[in-house]
Amino acid sequence: MSTLEEQIKELEDELVRTPYNKATSKHIGRVKAKIARLKDEAVSRAMKAGGGGEGYAVKKSGDATAVLVGFPSTGKSTLLNSLTGTESAVAAYAFTTVTVVPGALEYKGARIQLLDIPGLIAGAAMGKGRGKEVIAVVRNADIIIILVDVFNEQHFDVLLKELYDAGIRINVERPDITIKKTSHGGVRLNAVGTLDLDIEEVRSILAESKIMNADILIRGNATQEDLIDAVQGNRIYVPAFIAVNKVDLVDKERYLEIEHDIAGRFGGMPLMISAAAGYHLEELKEALYDCLGFIRVYLKPHGGEADLEEPLIIRRGSSVGDICNKLHREFVQKFRYARIWGKSVKHPGQRVGLTHRMIDGDLLTIIVEH
């Protein structure tokens, strides 16, 4: 019996050999689904493997948690220290950081927890290096800063692959796919909008997970990978951006070359920084704040005036329930209703429930049982 890794390799080779067309799409879907299933199995085995993990339980704090992901010695700890005044050990050799070191960053009223972690290397998703611990922390973050240094821009492809293998999807929306298992009737597909997948591909992918009866609802377009992700069900969708560190060590020409190259491959401009020299760090904070999509909500006591001095900083898309959770752990249980003045409602003072989503600038009154 070959190992999981060998089986995955064989299937991946087969994929490379098989041209994609109408006749092969069904088979390709099945092979991709199988690879995803085996990889997930390898990842979850690696995550369960014993040993290590000491000091990795960092409690989330602040308004959002950002994590620094990069190869060893790219300057993650130096960056954490420059941004937050923390003292995470810095040294010119690999794996200086062996645990998670948190720091706190205040920017425009938002408190961002920044986590420095050990370097990530090829194979991390399957547990190589400190992969197990590192991936667990990354999966928990609200945003990822991918850090490469000017001498190793190719690391960037490896980092993206490791994140992908670990089920982390960056800068994409979760595909709108609902899978409802049924007891009979086969696989039925309901598509809202144009969908490039056909029913045979869908059946083939589901069959790989032994789902023979189900109602599938897909809103908008979706790829085979999207459907496989939905079937596997443990994917994480998180924003990320790239920073290139140590730009103090290259000349202007090389600087522009790297910037251009990464922008082309990532589809977005990287931030060109120097953690040690303090170059472009304000821009990095702004990028963090922007990418996290913070909004401000003002609390207005029942019958009183809103506190316009100290807004609550929350993530875009947060609901009244999210705010209740943040304010007090009993608020959700004792919640009766809320009133809102602002853009998220039609009438000033409109009554809303826990699932109502807030918009920047809203005033909010929460009514709880006493």
Ligand X SMILES: Nc1nc2c(ncn2[C@@H]2O[C@H](COP(=O)(O)OP(=O)(O)OP(=O)(O)O)[C@@H](O)[C@H]2O)c(=O)[nH]1
Work out what residue 274 binds among ligand X, Mg ion, none; the CB cut-off runs from 5 to 8 Å by kind.
ligand X
Put the strands of the sheet holding 214-219 in their side by side order: 176-181, 214-219, 187-192
**Quick one: which segment of 91-99, 238-246, 337-345, 359-367 binds Mg ion (CB under 5 A)?**
91-99
Q: Which of residues 101-120 bind ligand X (CB under 6 A)?
A: 118-119
Choose among Mg ion, ligand X, none what residue 248 binds, the Cβ cut-off being 5 to 8 Å by kind. ligand X
70 interacts with ligand X by CB under 6 A: yes
Binding part of the chain for ligand X, among 35-43, 204-212, 241-249, 326-334 by CB under 6 A, reads 241-249
Amino acid identity of 5? Answer: E
Apex 82 CA angle, 264 and 67, nearest 5: 55
> Do the Cβ atoms of 71 and 121 come closer than 8 Å?
yes
Residue 237: both structure tokens together = 């969708």
Residue 75 is a binding residue for ligand X (CB under 6 A): yes
Q: Binder to ligand X among 198, 215, 248, 286 (CB under 6 A)?
A: 248
Residue for token pair 């490039």 = 196
Query: Could you say which of 38, 236, 249, 352 contacts ligand X (CB under 6 A)?
Result: 249
- Measure the CA–CA gap between 319 and 338, rounded to whole angstroms: 11
Choose the contact partner of 57 out of ligand X, Mg ion, none; CB within 5 to 8 A by kind: none
Give least dist CB 77 to ligand X, A.
3
276 binds ligand X (CB under 6 A): yes
Under rule CB under 5 A, residue 221 binds Mg ion: no
Nearer to ligand X, 262 or 366 (CB): 262
Q: How far apart are CA 252 and CA 272, in angstroms?
A: 11
Continuous segment of H or E residues that includes residue 135:
helix 131-140
Exposed (0-12), middle (13-18) or buried (19+): which is 239, by Cβ within 10 Å?
middle
The pair of structure tokens assigned to 170 is: 């960056």
Q: What are phi and psi of 360, to 5 degrees?
A: -50, 130
Minimum Å gap between C-beta 38 and Mg ion is 32
Cα(44)–Cα(4) distance, integer angstroms = 12
| Region from 47-55, 228-236, 244-252, 326-334 binding ligand X, contact rule CB under 6 A | 244-252
Task: Please state, in angstroms and rounded to a whole number, the distance separating the CA atoms of residues 146 and 84.
Answer: 18
Which positions ≥6 away from 51 have C-beta within 8 Å?
Answer: none
Considering only residues 167-186, where is the footprint of ligand X by CB under 6 A? none
Residues 19-78 that bind Mg ion (CB under 5 A): 76-77
What is the maximum alpha-carbon separation in the chain?
71
Residues 134-153: x where in contact with ligand X by CB under 6 A, - otherwise, as a string: --------------------
Instruction: Fill in the DSSP letter of residue 60.
Output: P
Q: Closer to ligand X at the Cβ: 20 or 95? A: 95
Q: Does 246 bind ligand X (CB under 6 A)?
A: yes
Range in contact with ligand X (rule: CB under 6 A) among 29-37, 48-56, 174-182, 271-279 = 271-279
- Give the nearer residue to ligand X in terms of CB position, either 94 or 104: 94
Q: Decide if residue 274 touches Mg ion (CB under 5 A).
A: no
Residue 103 binds what, of Mg ion, ligand X, none (CB under 5 to 8 Å, by partner type)?
Answer: none
d(CA 3, CA 175): 32
Site for Mg ion in 93-132 (CB under 5 A): 96-97
**How far is Cα 13 from Cα 31, in angstroms, rounded to an integer?**
11
The position carrying tokens 């000033």 is: 348
- Taking the least distance from each CB to Mg ion, the nearer of 77 and 365 is 77
**How many CB atoms are located within 10 Å of the residue 128 CB?**
14
Q: Tell how strand 294-299 and strand 312-315 pair up.
A: antiparallel
Residue closer to ligand X, measured from CB, 101 or 295? 101
Residues in touch with ligand X (CB under 6 A): 70, 72-78, 90-92, 94-97, 118-119, 245-246, 248-249, 274-277
Residues in touch with Mg ion (CB under 5 A): 76-77, 96-97
